[in-house]
Amino acid sequence: MWAVIKFDRKYFNLLKYDLEKRFGKDFEIYRPKIAIQKYYKNKLVDKEIDILGDYLFLYHKNLNKYSFINELKYIKGLKYLLDGYIGFQDEIIEFIKKCRNCENKKGLISEGMFEINIFSNYKFSSGPFVGKIFKIINIQKDKMNILMGNLKTKVRKKEFLFYPA
């Protein structure tokens, strides 16, 4: 069973260690990440960002037992466990499958995760237009017509990473 957990980013390794110490190795942690490029001191730097911020998915077969949840509450680095995860197992599993299908070899999610809509605003996360907001005017097979301010241009979908703004 999967649960959604809010954790303290500074203590993620401590959280993992404490989970291993108490429950052995029969648990799984999933943190979907996306790679973006940012300019830092006039250099383009690759950075990994958690899609869910300070939330993660935890899988353990006993997550439906009250005694297990009670013991889980006292793990270091864990802020709290989101309620209602038992009723949303199908949606959680579907989201995790969708994320894993969009991962590359490094385990980072590619742009295929997001559905592309015409006339919606997006933000570049790679290439020369990093951080710039644009609007999609038209979508072709592998190219898009975009509007960035007053500039109208064509870009290839596979060439740049972008996400909804």
Contacts of residue 39, defined as CB under 8 A and 6 or more positions apart, other chains included, come to 45, 130, 131
| Ordered per-residue pLDDT tens for the chain, 165 residues | 999 999 999 999 999 999 999 888 889 999 998 877 677 787 877 788 888 889 999 999 988 888 888 888 889 999 998 888 888 999 999 999 988 988 888 888 865 556 778 888 888 877 788 888 999 998 888 888 999 989 999 988 777 777 777
**Predicted TM-score (pTM) of this structure:** 0.70
Question: DSSP character for 11?
Answer: G
pLDDT at 20: 92
Using alpha carbons, select from 66, 64, 90, 92 the residue that is nearest to residue 4: 92
**Which pair of structure tokens corresponds to residue 131?**
């951080």
pLDDT at 111: 58
pLDDT at 79: 93
| Alpha-carbon span 105 to 116, nearest angstrom | 23
Check if the beta carbon of residue 147 is closer than 8 Å to that of residue 137: yes
User: Domain locations in the chain?
Assistant: 2-111, 114-164
Architecture category of domain 114-164 in CATH: Roll (2.30)
